[in-house]
Amino acid sequence: MDKITLALVDDEALIVTLLSSFFTQQNDIEVCLTSNSGEEFLEELAKQEILPEVLILDLKMKAKSGIDVLEILKESYPSINTIIMSSHYNKSFMGFMLKTGAAAFIPKGISPQELLKIVKEVKQTGFYFQPDQLEIIREQVAKKTPTPNINNNNVLSEREMEVLKLICLQKTAKEIGEKLFIAQRTVEGHKNNLFLKTETRNIAGLAIYAIQNNLVNSEEIFLN
């Protein structure tokens, strides 16, 4: 099995050191980049031959905050799945974090073992929601349900609907291809079309879109 390439960015050097030591001991994780500031991370990232697949990023840092870094990553490095981990965690921030392109938003007090599980899930599925976060999202959706876009150019095809539902069920592109008897490259093409039609930036955004439009039940996300 290929190792998950992981980057760590936090302005608390002790946290970076401890997490780096923990993840380095895992057989399926390779820590490829660590940094104590957003500026330094972006400078080093530009030099990397192999990009991290998952990034654990602090929210509140001096100069460039986690949000500043995330905005740059969204435009220049969209393949990096970012986990925002913060001591300023608040469930009500969840919608904003998803809008900015985060794949997950978690409190800094989480255990290393739980964090390892989240890293693996984000690598596999592109997002991670805690059950109580989905409750918040569901409440927000109930208060303001978006008006369906009836522009024919944005209507999802039957196949795109199938792919979207399987994405929400935490299936990888390979698993989706096998289930629908299509090539993995075809799945990626459908996924790109979904991003364009739903005006979302990442897998987490697609999951929220599906919940908002009643295409999948939020509890189904935790079936696997």
Please list, residue by residue across 2-19, b when 16 or more beta carbons sit within 10 angstroms of its beta carbon and e when fewer do.
eebbbbbbbbeeebbeeb
Query: Which ranges of 55-149 does DSSP label H, i.e. alpha helix?
Result: 66-76, 94-100, 112-125, 131-143
Q: What is the pLDDT of residues 44-78, one digit of tens each?
A: 999 998 899 999 999 888 888 888 999 899 889 98
Contact assessment for residue 90 and residue 64, using Cβ atoms and an 8 Å cutoff: no
Task: Quote the tokens at residue 40.
Answer: 């330094």
Domain 138-222 has CATH 1.10.10.10: yes
Across all residues in the chain, what is the average pLDDT? 84
Q: What is the pLDDT of residues 130-149, one digit of tens each?
A: 877 777 766 655 444 444 44
Domain 4-128 matches domain 138-222 at the CATH topology level: no
Domain range annotation of the chain? 4-128, 138-222
What's this model's pTM, rounded to 2 decimal places? 0.75
Residue the block writes with tokens 């994780």: 29
pLDDT at 144: 47
pLDDT at 143: 46
pLDDT at 132: 75
Please list, residue by residue across 81-94, b when 16 or more beta carbons sit within 10 angstroms of its beta carbon and e when fewer do.
bbbbbbeebeeebb
Q: Taking 90 as the threshold, does the pLDDT of residue 86 lie above it?
A: no
Q: Which fold has domain 4-128?
A: Rossmann fold (3.40.50)
Q: Taking 80 as the threshold, does the pLDDT of residue 152 lie above it?
A: no
Q: Taking 90 as the threshold, does the pLDDT of residue 197 lie above it?
A: no
Q: Taking 70 as the threshold, does the pLDDT of residue 195 lie above it?
A: yes
Helix axes 38-45, 66-76, angle to 10 degrees: 20
Q: Taking 90 as the threshold, does the pLDDT of residue 93 lie above it?
A: no
